[in-house]
Amino acid sequence: MTRFDPDTSRTTLFSALLRASARYGADRAVIEDVERTPLTYRRLIQSSIVLGRKLTEFTRRGENVGVMLPNVAALPVTIFALNAFGRVVAMLNFSAGVANLLSAVRTAVVRTVITSRRFIDEGRLDDVVQALSGYEAAPDRKVRIVYLEDIRGSITKADKVKGGLQAAIAGAVHRWYALEPEQPAVILFTSGTEGEPKGVALSSRNLVANAEQIYAFTEGVLQPDDILFNPLPIFHSFGLTGGTLLPIFHGIKTVLYPSPLHYRAVARLIGETKATILIATDTFLQGYARAALPEDLGSIRYAVAGAERVKDTTRAMWSKTGAVLLEGYGVTECSPVLAVNVPETNKPGTVGKMLPAIEYRLAPVEGLKNAGRLSVKGPNVMLGYMLPENPGVISPPPDGWHDTGDIVSIDEEGFVTIRGRAKRFAKIGGEMVSLAAVESVISTLWPEGNHVVVSAPDPHKGEQLVLVTDMADADRDTLIRHMHEEGLPALWVPKAIYVVPAIPVLGSGKVDLVATIELVKQKLPFL
């Protein structure tokens, strides 16, 4: 493992880009999207300078600027453009629904949203734009929609010449406008699964540190000739850091795809680009494996999974391709990666070992042995939350410690196993039952299905379990027998089963728990 030096992360995103260009060569291709026209470091830097200069005409230094774009080359250009000129990128999740989008804009006090007409048209997001346009995020601060096509049309030949000259001295231009590495650089938003979305303020140092932590810990996994395929939206932390910043900062070409849900298209493009590394979630990995032709996935050396537990069926699918599946763990508040498996010590069922420079502690949880509630501290831990009730103000984590809300166990070798979210435990008759653990057991009975266990009130035992599944023939008698054969207590058996056509999923690939719980609430009187 390469030693992680925290001092190397005390830089801005744009400075880290310049450093990578100097290290790997300005003519090295680092970004490609579905248009299949690669961007070199030189072109990325020049485009960022030209765009960033134009954005200064209607934004201010330190302002939170909304960005609502899919995974296309223009998105990292926009991120670096804003960072180069001291603006803060507020990444807006266009799949979150109008209410959550407006909440995010209000929480981060966003006055300007950058998007694309082509994207709005193709994504049928006219209602979103209509809701945002003129929305008063704060008193006398109405939202202005700015389209990249209009900016591009306003760029003159003189702008391009000036941009080219300034790109040659990009470091000096950046130093004039740059915010400090410890100041906010990017604001991401929680999914809103537990109320209104919270803004997560990440500094340049947070993001650069996490990219460096991953690279140091996974020494040898990334090779200079690797091609990383990223279908995960960049408005989520895994897609941003793992799928975009990490490869750019280390000379690896990343291929961006605008939607992880296009299973056949993703599999086909992986084959066409000869991608060697794929980042995704369990749900998406299953989708790509099922949709792929035999020749599509053969180039993949490593498939790196996060956001949700990897099923045994998923591992079996991908073992046929020759790829090694590496499971990791992260949270948005930590930029996001905290732990990951590496090829030499890949321990299925765990999420690997903690990255360097991360301190952790486990708080006891009533009713659980050999596990605790995880809190972490390190250079990748966020500056703090922006809360809906206090827009624009960053509330830092107490003494730098972030409570993940996850229940984990850590073995004697340091491997981390996720036992579940603290809020994903049910107290039944005084016993703590992990919903994730119940889901895992159910998956061994019906591996081809997707299953979510939620808790509901119970007049006698406090709470009861309800299974939501897309297995059409799932029945409780079979489940009871399976649980008994596995030696598990009767408390683990869901009292009801609700069969649905498909489990609701967020844009990140995670199960949409709010939507799933709502389904159960609607159905509960009849179950």
pLDDT digits (tens, 9 = 90+) for 281-334: 888 898 899 999 988 999 999 999 987 778 888 888 898 898 999 999 999 999
Look up the domain containing 209 and give its range: 6-406
Domain of 165, CATH number, reads 3.40.50.12780
Same domain, 38 and 84: yes
Residue 423 has pLDDT above 70, yes or no: no
Per-residue model confidence (pLDDT) at position 74:
96
Residue 429 has pLDDT above 60, yes or no: no
**Inter-residue contact 76 to 244 (CB < 8 Å):** yes
Nearest Cα residue to 151 out of 77, 46, 72, 51 = 51
Residue 527 has pLDDT above 60, yes or no: no
pLDDT tens per residue, range 158-199: 877 877 777 788 888 899 999 999 999 999 998 655 567 899
**Inter-residue contact 89 to 62 (CB < 8 Å):** no
Per-residue model confidence (pLDDT) at position 461:
61
Residue 421 belongs to a domain: no
Q: Which two tokens stand for residue 250?
A: 């280390």
Same domain, 57 and 196: yes
Same domain, 321 and 465: no
Same domain, 53 and 179: yes
H helix and E strand count, the chain: 18, 28
Same domain, 85 and 122: yes
Per-residue model confidence (pLDDT) at position 425:
67
pLDDT tens per residue, range 446-471: 888 888 888 777 766 667 788 888 88
Residues in the chain: 527
Residue 49 belongs to a domain: yes
Same domain, 345 and 213: yes
Same domain, 376 and 261: yes
Residue 416 belongs to a domain: no
Residue 83 belongs to a domain: yes
Nearest Cα residue to 431 out of 369, 515, 498 = 369
Residue 423 belongs to a domain: no
pLDDT tens per residue, range 7-17: 888 999 999 99
Domain end (from 375, 406, 437): 406
Same domain, 204 and 297: yes
Per-residue model confidence (pLDDT) at position 315:
87
Residue 424 belongs to a domain: no
Per-residue model confidence (pLDDT) at position 336:
94
The residues facing 31 across adjacent strands are: 39, 254
Residue 96 belongs to a domain: yes
Same domain, 118 and 267: yes
Residue 414 belongs to a domain: no
Helix (H) or strand (E) holding 149: helix 148-154
Can you say how many angstroms the Cα of residue 319 is from the centroid of all Cα atoms in its chain? 25
Number of domains forming the structure of the chain = 2
Same domain, 462 and 362: no
Per-residue model confidence (pLDDT) at position 10:
93
Mean pLDDT in residue range 21-46: 95
Could you tell me which residues come within 8 angstroms of residue 389 by beta carbon, excluding any fewer than 6 positions away? none
Nearest Cα residue to 170 out of 278, 270, 21 = 21
Place of tokens 């599509």: 296
Greater model confidence, 48 or 364: 48
pTM comes to 0.82
Domain end (from 373, 406, 439): 406
Same domain, 273 and 155: yes
**Inter-residue contact 65 to 78 (CB < 8 Å):** no
Q: Which two tokens stand for residue 503?
A: 């489990």
Same domain, 438 and 371: no
**Inter-residue contact 221 to 278 (CB < 8 Å):** no
Secondary structure (3-state) at 334? helix
**Inter-residue contact 447 to 311 (CB < 8 Å):** yes
Mean pLDDT estimate for the chain: 88
Domain of 442, CATH number, reads 3.30.300.30
Greater model confidence, 179 or 366: 179
